[in-house]
């Protein structure tokens, strides 16, 4: 089966397609021309495309297309409650709901809000448990915003889900979103006097393993972590083979819960890869890491953002801020499928046939 990649960029959305070999890619776009597409995803329940599209002047939007990207409709109610004193700065992530909840979608954004739609993305209602969280005054904002950027639904439990905030940490609900418990035990935040606070951690990417949903991985500002108990405890994993603790994105293998792939970057103010474009994989749950750079440029100062990677049962995919899109072929070799796109902000994939 071939693959369709929705590649969100600083200047619009591109549709990339390849057959089963994944070594030759066709490009269509830009759709949503001129919009910064922070995230775009296909809702597997009905084929609708959803995009978190932002513009420096026209502001934040959520857009959807039911005809493969030819025409788009904007959500008309994404604002936050007036009494909150907050307004939406940007939309960052759209997560389609579970198969048993058609029409439901989740939206994360800045300033650290989670909204839910029950009408397919036309209107949204902000989650009060997040907006009014008792620890919210201890979530430090940064120059890039205060971002709720990851929403992970537990496929085995309709009431359990996770969100991640930069910087606030990981939060879990077990009552469908009414209340949220911080899940940052053993996760370091090295900027404050207590390096293991209840909240304030800067999670860069949180991913739940689809076949073992009690297992979560996170690439944090301060290291790579794995939890095997729904976030109750975390084990730090970047000490054995990674060149550093810092990075943004993380990819998994849906057929093997012990596999994870990260792309470390020079930390803090810098945000680019060191020693070429170095991708690192673990096959043993993070105990050891190996460099996997076959096919990647070794003279490179690349940056791969949190949303700019994806995985399916056959392969992994990522895009760089320098506009290159890579796919893993034969399990070990990367192919640069497309280059010279605008800076890539997000990648999602879905099955596709010509």
Partner 1 sequence: MVRVVVPSMLAAQAGGRGHFDVEVETVGEALHALPVADLVIDERGELRRYINVYVDGSDARDRGGLACPLTGAHEVRIVAMLSGG
Query: Where does this chain bind partner 1 (CB under 8 A)?
Result: 33-35, 55-59, 61, 72, 74, 76, 78-80, 82, 87-88
Minimum distance, C-beta of residue 59 to partner 1, in the bound complex (Å): 6
Comparing CB distances to partner 1, the nearer of 79 and 141 is 79
DSSP state of 182: E
DSSP state of 183: -
Can you tell me whether residue 131 is helix, strand or coil? Answer: helix
> What's phi and psi for 111, nearest 5 deg?
-90, 105
Q: How far apart are CA 166 and CA 146, in angstroms?
A: 6
Q: How far apart are CA 24 and CA 5, in angstroms?
A: 13
Comparing CB distances to partner 1, the nearer of 55 and 128 is 55
> What's phi and psi for 83, nearest 5 deg?
-70, -15
Minimum distance, C-beta of residue 34 to partner 1, in the bound complex (Å): 5
DSSP state of 72: -
Query: Which residues, 6 or more positions from 330, have their beta carbon under 8 angstroms from its beta carbon?
Result: none
Minimum distance, C-beta of residue 72 to partner 1, in the bound complex (Å): 8
Minimum distance, C-beta of residue 14 to partner 1, in the bound complex (Å): 16
Minimum distance, C-beta of residue 86 to partner 1, in the bound complex (Å): 10
Comparing CB distances to partner 1, the nearer of 76 and 128 is 76
Chain position carrying tokens 């943004």: 248
Minimum distance, C-beta of residue 58 to partner 1, in the bound complex (Å): 4
Comparing CB distances to partner 1, the nearer of 74 and 339 is 74
Residue 165's nearest CA partner among 236, 109, 89, 232 is 109
Comparing CB distances to partner 1, the nearer of 145 and 243 is 145
Comparing CB distances to partner 1, the nearer of 130 and 237 is 130
Sign of the CA dihedral with 133 first, then 108, 308, and 9 last: negative
């Amino acid at each position: 089966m071939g693959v369709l990649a929705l590649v969100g960029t600083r200047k619009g959305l591109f549709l990339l397609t390849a057959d089963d070999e994944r070594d030759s890619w066709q490009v269509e776009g830009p759709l949503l021309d001129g919009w910064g597409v922070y995230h775009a995803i296909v809702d597997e329940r009905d084929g609708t495309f959803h995009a978190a599209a932002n513009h420096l002047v026209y502001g934040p939007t959520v857009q959807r297309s039911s005809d493969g990207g030819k025409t788009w409709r904007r959500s008309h109610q994404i604002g936050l409650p007036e009494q909150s004193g907050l307004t939406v700065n940007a939309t960052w992530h759209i997560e389609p709901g579970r198969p048993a909840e058609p029409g439901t979608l989740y939206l994360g954004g800045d300033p650290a809000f989670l909204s839910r739609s029950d009408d397919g993305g036309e209107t949204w209602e902000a989650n009060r448990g997040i907006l009014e969280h008792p620890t919210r005054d201890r979530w430090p904002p940064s120059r890039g915003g205060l971002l709720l950027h990851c929403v992970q639904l537990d496929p085995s439990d309709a009431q359990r889900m996770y969100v991640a905030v930069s910087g606030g940490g990981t939060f879990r609900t077990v009552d469908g979103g009414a209340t949220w418990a911080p899940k940052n035990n053993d996760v370091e935040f090295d900027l404050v006097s207590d390096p293991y606070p209840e909240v304030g951690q800067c999670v860069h990417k949180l991913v739940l393993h689809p076949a073992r949903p009690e297992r979560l991985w996170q690439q944090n500002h301060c290291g790579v972590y794995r939890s095997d108990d729904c976030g109750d405890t975390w084990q730090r994993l970047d000490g054995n083979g990674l060149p550093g603790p810092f990075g943004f994105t993380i990819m998994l293998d849906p057929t093997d819960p012990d596999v994870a792939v990260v792309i470390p970057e020079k930390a803090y103010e810098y945000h680019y890869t060191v020693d070429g474009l170095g991708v690192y994989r673990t096959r043993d749950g993070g105990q050891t890491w190996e460099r996997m750079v076959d096919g990647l440029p070794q003279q490179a100062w690349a940056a791969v953002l949190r949303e700019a990677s994806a995985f399916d049962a056959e392969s992994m995919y990522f895009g760089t801020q320098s506009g290159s899109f890579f796919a893993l072929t034969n399990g070990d070799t990367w192919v640069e499928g497309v280059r010279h796109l605008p800076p890539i902000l997000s990648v999602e994939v879905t099955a596709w046939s010509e």
